[in-house]
Every structure is written in structure tokens, then in C-alpha cells.
Structure 1
């Protein structure tokens, strides 16, 4: 089970009260009551956000409270120190560390991508100055060849408004290599259909 989540490169990683309860083996009501009892102290570490959870019976939808790293750490300190709680503390610290490392790597790749995209966009603009849709066509082609999905499909599958930020570092690198390849093909005088044929010739 995933312990830590994030939605975009600029969003803070989070866990939830539900995950804390499940992973510590404690009763959800007990953990939730502890959360509400110390909500004021938790807010010292940042704004508390929530999403609507599933409806319990015929009642109202439950709130799924999100906790940043500091909030989660503080809440766990209030739950005692049995073996399962201690193990979860260790796992959660590691999960936050790994997510932050991944986010840092993605941000670096994104900065590189911005530089590379300038070249990609400039080549297209130079060779197709009067076409309104050609950049989008080549952009989609790069995604389709490198990742097997269009930007729209990635947004839908990964529930994001920004297909670029949803890519892993490896996916981002493959995409940029493809864009460089397409730019070279354009500079060599190939049109869209010829480039598409060349790209997919070995697949």
C-alpha cells in the first residue's frame, strides 16, 4: 500500500488519517478522535486539507483528512509506541524521503525539458511559421512514440491537469530524446507523415 501521495510537482506530499489508522492497527475512530482533539496543534504545521470520502451507511460522506510530513509525525507521537506504531513511523519517514527525492528529480528534469522544448518549438516555428496546429501534432506524436499515450490520455489515466508533471524521470527523458529526434528530422526536410513513418518503422 502507498503511504505517501502527491498530485503535482508543486504540491506538498501527504498521507492521510485513514492510512495512519490502518497502518498502526488502531481503531479508526480512536485515531480520528485524536486528530480532532489536537487539530489546533496540527494546524501549526500547515493548513489541513481534506477530500470527501465514501458515505458510511445512510449518513454523510466522511472527510479524508490529509497530513503533511510534520502533521503526520506529530499525530503519530500521540498514538503510543507499540511495535506496529514504531514500524509505521519508520516506514512513513522513508516513504516521505523517497517521494521528496522523486519530486526533486522530476523538477530537475522538468527544468531541462523547458530548455529542450524551446529548441523543439523553435525548430517547428522556423519550418512551419504559418501553421497553427503543427506544434500540437508533433507534440502528440512525441508522446505517442515515447510513451505509447497522448498527453490527453496521460491526464485522464493519472488524474492530472498537467501531463508533463505526471511523468516519471525515465518517461520524461524518453520524451525529450524523441523531441530532439523529431527536431532533427524536421531540420532534414521531413514532413509530419515521413517523420511518423521513420519513428515507428522499428516498432
Structure 2
């Protein structure tokens, strides 16, 4: 079982309540009581995010379970509230090492991403490498790049400017914006984000 997780390069590494319980032998109820009691303190150390998990298939049912995602500071603070048993002390060391290893791995991936950026890996090549079996991946991401960079789709460019080749109808400034959007999408794809995640991230600050 991994101690620390991450989703994408821009997201903070985190551990979970389940990890803490499994490695310290502290009950889930006891950990949740501490989280609820010190929720404000934990929130001061970052967004206290969580996910809801459904009961496993084949089980006797039950209610969905709330799994908190704790960043390094939140997890460290929470552990200080536990009794300092031998298992808790050992877990502290393991967790510190795990966060360090994950952050080192993320740094390496960021460096690799920058190298790819310098090499200017083609937009289509990136999509093809990550979605080899999808017939619509390129058109979906291509359309997304236009929408994000220019506020219109390629079809709308065709209709508005009476052309069959929307790329040729763009100004130099529009072309530059479109290329930056494609590059940004390419980097997100290489980071492991899917289409909906990328769309959300692109339009979050607009």
C-alpha cells in the first residue's frame, strides 16, 4: 500500500485517513473525530479536500465513505495529535520519506516536461501517443484548443471567415495564441490529465 499519492504535476501530494489508520492501528473513528475537532487548524494548512467512495462490489452495502486527502502539513499536524506509540513513530518516519520521494519524483517529471517543451513535441504526436485507440481524441482536443485560445471552434472560424482551412484564416496573433493553447494542452496530457480535467483547468481562470 502506498503512503502518498498525487494526481498531476500541479497538484499537491497527499495521504489519506485510510493510510494513517492502516499504518498506526488507530481506528478510523478516532482519526475522524480528530479531523472534525481540528478542522479549522487543518484548513489553515491547505484545502481540506476529500472524496466519497462507494461500498465495494459484493459487500453488504452500507453508506458511502468520506476519504480525506491530507497534504504534508495537514498529515504532519494530525499525527502529532495521536498517541506516540511505536507504530505511530515508525509511521511518521515512513511518511516523511514518502512525501520526500514523491516530491523528488514530481520535480523530475517537471524537468522532463520542460525538456519536452523545449523539444516542441507535436500536438498530434502527444495525442496519438496517449490516445492511440481513440478516433475522436485529436478532434476533441483540437476543438478545445481553438475554444480556449480564440473563443470559437474551427467550424465557427470557417463559417465566419468563409474558408475551408481555419488555420490559414488566423492572424499571426491568433496563431500564436492557438499554438500556446496546444502546447499547454499537450503538457496537461503528458501530466496524465484526461479531457474533462484539462477543460476544467483551462477555463478555471477565465
Q: TM-score range by the shorter chain?
A: 0.5 to 0.7
Say yes or no: does 1:101 pair with 2:104.
Answer: yes
Say yes or no: does 1:25 pair with 2:25.
Answer: yes
Aligned to 1:85: 88
Aligned to 1:73: 76
Say yes or no: does 1:36 pair with 2:36.
Answer: yes
Is residue 140–residue 151 contact of structure 1 (8 Å, CA) maintained in 2?
A: no
| CA distance in 1: counterparts of 2:108 and 2:13, whole angstroms | 14
| CA distance in 2: counterparts of 1:30 and 1:54, whole angstroms | 21
Gaps of 5+ in 1: 122-134, 156-160, 168-203
1:1-203 pair list within 5 angstroms: 1-55=1-55, 59-117=62-120, 120-121=121-122, 136=124, 138-139=125-126, 143=129, 150=132, 162-166=188-192
Gaps of 5+ in 2: 138-186, 194-206
| CA distance in 1: counterparts of 2:116 and 2:44, whole angstroms | 36
- After TM superposition, the runs of 4+ consecutive aligned structure 1 residues lying more than 2 A away are 54-60, 138-141, 149-152
Cα-Cα RMSD: 2.7
Aligned to 1:186: none
Is residue 151–residue 163 contact of structure 1 (8 Å, CA) maintained in 2?
A: no
- Aligned length, in residue pairs: 139
Structure-2 change in CA distance of 1:15 and 1:139 (3 Å)? closer
| CA distance in 2: counterparts of 1:113 and 1:151, whole angstroms | 23
Per-residue deviation, 1:140:
5.8
Structure-1-length-normalised TM-score = 0.61
